[in-house]
Protein backbone atom coordinates (compact mmCIF):
# COMPACT_ATOMS: atom_id res chain seq x y z
CA UNK A 1 0.00 0.00 0.00
CA UNK A 2 1.26 3.46 -0.89
CA UNK A 3 1.31 6.55 1.25
CA UNK A 4 -1.14 8.43 -0.93
CA UNK A 5 -3.02 11.04 1.05
CA UNK A 6 -6.76 10.50 0.74
CA UNK A 7 -9.73 11.50 2.87
CA UNK A 8 -12.98 9.53 2.47
CA UNK A 9 -16.21 11.45 3.03
CA UNK A 10 -19.81 10.44 3.29
CA UNK A 11 -22.03 12.72 1.18
CA UNK A 12 -25.49 13.40 2.61
CA UNK A 13 -25.28 15.15 5.97
CA UNK A 14 -21.51 15.75 5.60
CA UNK A 15 -21.09 17.72 2.36
CA UNK A 16 -24.73 18.55 1.67
CA UNK A 17 -27.96 18.95 3.61
CA UNK A 18 -29.61 15.58 4.27
CA UNK A 19 -33.29 14.72 4.10
CA UNK A 20 -35.30 11.80 5.46
CA UNK A 21 -37.15 11.96 2.13
CA UNK A 22 -33.83 11.42 0.25
CA UNK A 23 -31.98 13.92 -1.92
CA UNK A 24 -33.50 13.15 -5.33
CA UNK A 25 -32.52 15.99 -7.67
CA UNK A 26 -29.86 18.65 -8.22
CA UNK A 27 -32.30 21.26 -6.85
CA UNK A 28 -32.46 19.34 -3.56
CA UNK A 29 -28.67 19.04 -3.39
CA UNK A 30 -27.61 21.97 -1.18
CA UNK A 31 -24.06 22.24 0.15
CA UNK A 32 -23.63 22.67 3.91
CA UNK A 33 -21.93 25.95 4.85
CA UNK A 34 -18.15 25.62 4.56
CA UNK A 35 -18.16 22.02 3.34
CA UNK A 36 -16.87 22.68 -0.18
CA UNK A 37 -14.27 25.12 1.17
CA UNK A 38 -13.17 22.34 3.55
CA UNK A 39 -12.63 20.03 0.56
CA UNK A 40 -10.58 22.78 -1.11
CA UNK A 41 -8.49 23.19 2.05
CA UNK A 42 -7.82 19.42 2.15
CA UNK A 43 -6.82 19.50 -1.55
CA UNK A 44 -4.44 22.41 -0.95
CA UNK A 45 -2.78 20.37 1.81
CA UNK A 46 -2.15 17.57 -0.70
CA UNK A 47 -5.13 15.34 0.09
CA UNK A 48 -7.31 13.71 -2.52
CA UNK A 49 -10.98 13.46 -1.63
CA UNK A 50 -13.14 10.42 -2.31
CA UNK A 51 -16.81 10.10 -1.47
CA UNK A 52 -18.42 6.83 -0.35
CA UNK A 53 -22.19 7.18 -0.18
CA UNK A 54 -25.18 4.90 0.21
CA UNK A 55 -27.74 5.90 -2.42
CA UNK A 56 -30.55 3.40 -1.87
CA UNK A 57 -32.96 5.89 -3.45
CA UNK A 58 -31.85 4.34 -6.76
CA UNK A 59 -32.74 0.84 -5.59
CA UNK A 60 -36.03 2.17 -4.24
CA UNK A 61 -36.86 3.79 -7.59
CA UNK A 62 -36.96 7.32 -6.10
CA UNK A 63 -34.46 8.65 -8.65
CA UNK A 64 -32.33 7.29 -11.47
CA UNK A 65 -28.67 7.36 -12.47
CA UNK A 66 -29.19 10.49 -14.57
CA UNK A 67 -30.46 12.34 -11.49
CA UNK A 68 -27.55 11.05 -9.37
CA UNK A 69 -25.06 12.09 -12.06
CA UNK A 70 -26.69 15.54 -12.25
CA UNK A 71 -26.40 15.95 -8.46
CA UNK A 72 -22.74 14.96 -8.58
CA UNK A 73 -22.07 17.29 -11.52
CA UNK A 74 -23.51 20.15 -9.43
CA UNK A 75 -21.36 19.09 -6.45
CA UNK A 76 -18.19 18.94 -8.61
CA UNK A 77 -18.91 22.34 -10.19
CA UNK A 78 -19.63 23.98 -6.82
CA UNK A 79 -16.47 22.49 -5.31
CA UNK A 80 -14.41 23.67 -8.29
CA UNK A 81 -15.83 27.19 -7.88
CA UNK A 82 -14.09 27.40 -4.47
CA UNK A 83 -10.92 25.63 -5.61
CA UNK A 84 -11.89 22.14 -4.48
CA UNK A 85 -11.74 18.81 -6.28
CA UNK A 86 -13.46 15.52 -5.54
CA UNK A 87 -11.39 12.75 -7.12
CA UNK A 88 -13.97 9.98 -7.07
CA UNK A 89 -17.51 9.23 -6.00
CA UNK A 90 -18.26 5.65 -4.96
CA UNK A 91 -21.90 4.85 -4.32
CA UNK A 92 -24.03 1.90 -3.37
CA UNK A 93 -27.38 1.89 -5.22
CA UNK A 94 -28.75 -1.06 -3.23
CA UNK A 95 -31.35 -1.30 -0.50
CA UNK A 96 -30.76 -3.17 2.76
CA UNK A 97 -32.84 -6.05 1.35
CA UNK A 98 -30.23 -6.60 -1.38
CA UNK A 99 -27.68 -7.80 1.22
CA UNK A 100 -24.81 -6.41 -0.88
CA UNK A 101 -21.25 -5.98 0.38
CA UNK A 102 -21.01 -2.29 -0.57
CA UNK A 103 -23.80 -0.76 1.52
CA UNK A 104 -22.44 0.83 4.69
CA UNK A 105 -22.09 -0.33 7.51
CA UNK A 106 -20.45 -3.09 5.40
CA UNK A 107 -16.98 -1.94 4.33
CA UNK A 108 -17.07 -3.01 0.66
CA UNK A 109 -17.22 0.53 -0.73
CA UNK A 110 -14.31 1.62 1.46
CA UNK A 111 -12.31 -1.40 0.26
CA UNK A 112 -12.92 -0.22 -3.32
CA UNK A 113 -11.66 3.27 -2.44
CA UNK A 114 -8.54 1.85 -0.75
CA UNK A 115 -7.79 -0.35 -3.77
CA UNK A 116 -8.42 2.38 -6.33
CA UNK A 117 -6.20 4.91 -4.54
CA UNK A 118 -3.74 2.36 -3.10
CA UNK A 119 -4.05 3.73 0.41
CA UNK A 120 -3.35 2.34 3.83
CA UNK A 121 -6.65 2.46 5.76
CA UNK A 122 -4.82 3.23 9.00
CA UNK A 123 -3.70 6.57 7.47
CA UNK A 124 -6.94 7.34 5.62
CA UNK A 125 -9.65 9.08 7.64
CA UNK A 126 -13.33 8.34 7.09
CA UNK A 127 -15.72 11.19 7.86
CA UNK A 128 -19.44 10.60 8.34
CA UNK A 129 -22.55 11.70 10.19
CA UNK A 130 -24.09 8.27 10.80
CA UNK A 131 -23.09 5.22 12.81
CA UNK A 132 -22.93 3.12 9.63
CA UNK A 133 -20.20 5.41 8.20
CA UNK A 134 -18.13 4.99 11.37
CA UNK A 135 -18.73 1.22 11.54
CA UNK A 136 -17.67 0.74 7.91
CA UNK A 137 -14.48 2.73 8.51
CA UNK A 138 -13.67 1.07 11.83
CA UNK A 139 -14.12 -2.40 10.27
CA UNK A 140 -11.08 -1.77 8.07
CA UNK A 141 -9.03 0.15 10.63
CA UNK A 142 -9.61 3.66 9.27
CA UNK A 143 -9.45 6.57 11.74
CA UNK A 144 -13.12 7.57 12.02
CA UNK A 145 -14.48 11.08 12.41
CA UNK A 146 -18.06 12.05 13.24
CA UNK A 147 -19.41 15.42 12.12
CA UNK A 148 -22.39 16.86 13.98
CA UNK A 149 -24.19 17.93 10.80
CA UNK A 150 -26.87 15.75 9.20
CA UNK A 151 -27.57 12.82 11.55
CA UNK A 152 -24.41 13.55 13.55
CA UNK A 153 -25.97 14.93 16.75
CA UNK A 154 -28.37 11.99 16.89
CA UNK A 155 -25.48 9.58 16.25
CA UNK A 156 -23.44 11.13 19.06
CA UNK A 157 -26.41 11.03 21.45
CA UNK A 158 -26.92 7.34 20.64
CA UNK A 159 -23.48 6.53 22.03
CA UNK A 160 -21.51 3.32 21.37
CA UNK A 161 -19.26 5.06 18.85
CA UNK A 162 -16.34 2.99 17.57
CA UNK A 163 -13.25 3.33 19.75
CA UNK A 164 -11.16 6.37 18.88
CA UNK A 165 -13.95 8.25 17.07
CA UNK A 166 -13.14 11.96 16.89
CA UNK A 167 -16.03 14.41 16.86
CA UNK A 168 -16.16 17.70 14.92
CA UNK A 169 -18.88 20.33 14.52
CA UNK A 170 -18.86 20.02 10.73
CA UNK A 171 -16.62 19.25 7.74
CA UNK A 172 -14.92 22.64 8.03
CA UNK A 173 -13.98 21.89 11.65
CA UNK A 174 -12.77 18.41 10.66
CA UNK A 175 -10.48 19.86 7.97
CA UNK A 176 -9.02 22.44 10.37
CA UNK A 177 -8.51 19.90 13.18
CA UNK A 178 -7.15 17.18 10.91
CA UNK A 179 -4.71 19.45 9.08
CA UNK A 180 -3.49 21.15 12.27
CA UNK A 181 -2.75 17.66 13.69
CA UNK A 182 -0.58 17.02 10.61
CA UNK A 183 1.52 20.17 11.25
CA UNK A 184 2.92 18.84 14.54
For residue 1, being part of any structural domain is answered with no
Tell me the residue ranges of DSSP E strands in the chain: 6-9, 48-54, 88-92, 126-128, 144-147, 166-168
102-118 pLDDT, tens digit each: 999 999 999 999 999 99
| 10 is known as an active-site residue | yes
Q: What is the pLDDT of residues 55-82, one digit of tens each?
A: 999 999 999 999 999 999 999 999 999 9
What range defines the domain where residue 34 resides?
6-163+173-183
Does the annotation mark 12 as catalytic? yes
Average pLDDT value over all residues in the chain: 96
Per the residue annotation, which of 12, 18, 129, 133 is the catalytic one? 12
Q: What total number of domains does the chain contain?
A: 1
* CATH number of the CATH domain containing 119: 3.40.50.1000
pLDDT for residue 90 is more than 80: yes
In a domain, residue 168? The reply is no
Distance between alpha carbon 95 and the CA centroid of its chain, in Å?
18
**pLDDT greater at residue 1 or residue 93:** 93
The per-residue pLDDT for 1 is 43
Amino acid sequence: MGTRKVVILDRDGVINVDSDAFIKSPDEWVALPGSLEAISRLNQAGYRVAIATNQSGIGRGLFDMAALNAMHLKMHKMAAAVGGRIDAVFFCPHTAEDHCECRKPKPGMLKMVAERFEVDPSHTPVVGDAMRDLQAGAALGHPVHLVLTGKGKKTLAGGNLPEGTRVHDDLRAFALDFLSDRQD
